[in-house]
Amino acid sequence: MAVVEKVGGADTEVGAAISPSPPSSVTSQGSGDLGENGEIRSDGGGESFKREMRELNELLTKLNPMAKEFVPPSLTKQGANGGFFTVPDSFPVNEDGGFRRKSFGPPQGKRRMNPRTSMAQREDVIRRTVYVSDIDQQVTEEQLAGLFIGFGQVVDCRICGDPNSVLKFAFIEFTDEGGARAALNLSGTVLGFYPVKVMPSKTAIAPVNPTLLPRTEDEREKCARTIYCTNIDKKVTQTDIKLFFEAVCGEVLRLRLLGDYHHPTRIGFVEFVMAESAITALNCSGVLLGSLPIRVSPSKTPVRSRAVPRQQQ
């Protein structure tokens, strides 16, 4: 134990510091009496003093300086090295210098890394994706993917309707960046009646819920006869949509209109009796239905029938 006194006129400052080992100013002949400057004078009580120091040392070494009751709340705001003690390397410290409690749940570090990991994965997918524009309305996703398959394995191909143009656009994702870079050479290639434009994509293809994808050959055949419509005016009814497509494209077999209170427009799935009618319906992208131009693209999922409630006998 060392006590330092500083006397300066009428003001007196007293500071104390505790260390787990005896101070360097203690000698083997010290008695425990303090001089004016804090030094220890020897006057024959060395053994008693050393015994007391050993007991004090043992007591201090058993204490945990990191225990909650020994850490002033203000210290966690000032930082770990606020002039009182040094934090061991094994003690968890936040980046701002404060202490954090040990967590017994899933590692916090992994949760913090998830957004970064997800962002890195998304950027990797974008680098493997190309954007294709000026696509003829008659071109199917299978035909478009077949054009690009010579430059690498195609993971996904998504054709979308453009309400402001009679032409469509698409996103094609490859398994690696090399395939996407090589695919840029196809820009200017005539597909159908128009030369397509190919450039690096700025977005990734939005994934489709795998549980909604066709599971049987019959459902895949239904997909070929189904279109996906977006940007549908909320004032437009199912009957309006059915009459519109039957007048222009052909007989409608099933129709599903979906919407909620949060979105200003609705979406719909229209299944035709004939696959040719679905292909013709792609030309309707951009046509005003109600007060909004609809967007039409091939559907990746079939229109499944709702469960019919059992009738009471």
Mark 67-92 as b/e (b = at least 16 C-beta within 10 Å).
Answer: eeeeeeeebbeeebeeeebeeeeeee
Please give the C-alpha separations between residue 136 and each of 75, 161, 230, in angstroms, as whole numbers: 69, 10, 19
Query: CA 132, 135, 138, 143 torsion: positive or negative?
Result: negative
pLDDT at 203: 83
Indicate if the pLDDT at residue 218 is higher than 50. yes
- Check: CB of residue 196 under 8 Å from CB of residue 168: no
Domain 124-200: give its CATH code: 3.30.70.330
Indicate if the pLDDT at residue 5 is higher than 50. no
Kindly provide the residue ranges of all beta strands, DSSP E only, lying in the chain, ordered along the sequence.
2-8, 11-17, 33-34, 40-41, 129-135, 154-161, 168-174, 190-191, 194-195, 197-200, 226-233, 252-258, 265-272, 288-289, 292-293, 295-298
Q: Among 8-12, 175-179, 266-270, 303-307, name the one with the lowest average pLDDT.
A: 8-12
Render pLDDT for 165-216 as a digit per residue (tens, 0 to 9): 778 888 999 999 999 999 999 999 999 899 999 999 988 876 666 666 677 8
User: If you average pLDDT over every residue of the chain, what do you get?
Assistant: 73
pLDDT at 83: 45
Render pLDDT for 169-183 as a digit per residue (tens, 0 to 9): 889 999 999 999 999
Task: Average the pLDDT over 2-31 and give the result.
Answer: 45
Which two structure tokens, joined as six digits, stand for 221?
Answer: 């055949």
pLDDT at 178: 93
Which two structure tokens, joined as six digits, stand for 285?
Answer: 């992208």
Output DSSP code: residue 52: H
CATH class for the region spanning 210-298? alpha beta
Indicate if the pLDDT at residue 73 is higher than 50. yes
pLDDT at 198: 96
> Do 124-200 and 210-298 share a fold?
yes
Which two structure tokens, joined as six digits, stand for 276?
Answer: 């040719």
Domain boundaries, the chain: 124-200, 210-298
